[in-house]
Amino acid sequence: MNGLTALIEQFTLPELARVLRRSVLVSLALATIAFVVALFVSSPLASLGICLGLGLGILNIRLVTAQTAKVATTSPARPVRALASMTIVRLGVMTAVVIGLAIVSVPLGMGTILGVMIFYLAFIGNLIGVALRHKAA
């Protein structure tokens, strides 16, 4: 965990903004491809789930940045504890949404999981790319 923190601290805010923007664009392209493939190969609900999962991934990243900014501006006595509690609640709600969708419809739930996975693979890939360019510079 400390290694990840040290890695992210090397980036400037504009670089992080670019990583997030590029992650959204790459994941939208990948999700579009997955949506079309799922539409023809699987059920339409799986395709809808991919879109929902992508939206959940984007929403989660936006909430992380908003919550981090909130903690930075309010300067609580225990900032790590404040971030950890917000993270637990945010991830708990997201998990409940995905499980609820999977209970309603298995293809919808599996598609949602796939959409979240596509987003985070794009995010991590972009983060690694920027980190490698940092090391080379």
The tally of domains found in the chain comes to 1
Residue 7 falls inside a structural domain: no
- Which domain does 90 fall in, by range? 18-131
pLDDT at 103 over 90: yes
78 within some domain:
yes
Task: Evaluate if residue 72 carries a pLDDT over 90.
Answer: no
Mean pLDDT within 7-27:
76
Contact 58, 119 (CB under 8 A): yes
Task: Indicate the pLDDT class of residue 131, thresholds 50, 70 and 90.
Answer: confident
Residue 4 confidence class, pLDDT cut points 50, 70, 90: low
Asked whether residue 70 is assigned to any structural domain, the reply reads: yes
What pLDDT digit, counting tens, does each position of 29-41 carry? 888 888 888 878 8
Q: Is the pTM of this model over 0.85?
A: no
Residues 132 and 25 sit within 8 Å (Cβ to Cβ) = no
39 by Cβ neighbours in 10 Å (0-12 / 13-18 / 19+) ranks as middle
> Quick check: is 10 in a domain?
no
Percentage of the chain with pLDDT > 90? 20
Residue 117 in domain: yes
Spatial separation of the C-alpha atoms in residues 18 and 106, rounded to whole Å:
35
Mean pLDDT of the chain: 83
**84 in a domain, yes or no?**
yes
3-state secondary structure of 120: helix
Is the residue at 13 inside a domain?
A: no
Give a yes or no: residue 4 inside a domain.
no
